[in-house]
Amino acid sequence: MAARRKAARLTAALAQRLRLLVLDCDGVLTDGALYFGASGEQLKVFHVRDGHGIKQVQAAGIEVAVISGRRSPALSRRCRELGIRHLYQGVADKSAALDVLLRKLKLSDTQTVCVGDDTPDVALFKRAALAVAVADAHVDALAASHWVTTLPGGRGAVREVCDALLAARSRA
């Protein structure tokens, strides 16, 4: 059974309140495929437009964080390139990582938008003011989300979220 598309509930008031964008990596910043080179090195493909969107929301004063269940040197490098200072890798309990991050930034769940694609992201979705599933997310993430992007993970979904945040803020 195909998941129903959910309408965005990103109002100008909500967008003004949001101060933290939390992203998953595999399936959100990437297409979810795992690539391994001949020597066993892990390769990831990131969409350039997602990176530009991240830079734009950072410039607008929104903190960006990545909380990922896997560890990846490629992700570390991409986060450095984008100026993402809050990177949590190899995380089994994403909600606990979010607790640490929120305390560090002196923010609350009500100021958080989370973008994910699978069951491990549902705990974050239940806490976020705005929970966004990418178009090709697992049914668990789709069911727990407030909004579903039109684009799939690794193919511009993050840019779509960033653009929506900035557009809603400009309406305030």
Q: What is the pLDDT of residues 55-91, one digit of tens each?
A: 999 999 999 999 999 999 999 999 999 999 999 999 9
Instruction: Round to whole Å and give the CA distance between 84 and 87.
Output: 7
Residues in the chain: 172
Helix (H) or strand (E) holding 147: strand 147-148
Any idea what the CATH number is for the domain that residue 148 is in? 3.40.50.1000
Which pLDDT belongs to residue 127? 97
Neighbours of 82 (CB within 10 A): 19
Domain count of the chain? 1
C-alpha of 138 from chain center: 15
In DSSP terms, 116 is beta-bridged to: 133
* Structural domain span for residue 119: 12-170
pTM of the model: 0.93
How far apart CA 147 and CA 106 sit, in angstroms, is 26
Rounded percentage of the chain residues whose pLDDT exceeds 90: 82
Report if residue 7 sits inside a domain.
no
Q: Which contiguous run of DSSP H or E holds residue 113?
A: strand 112-116
Judge whether 124 lies within some domain: yes
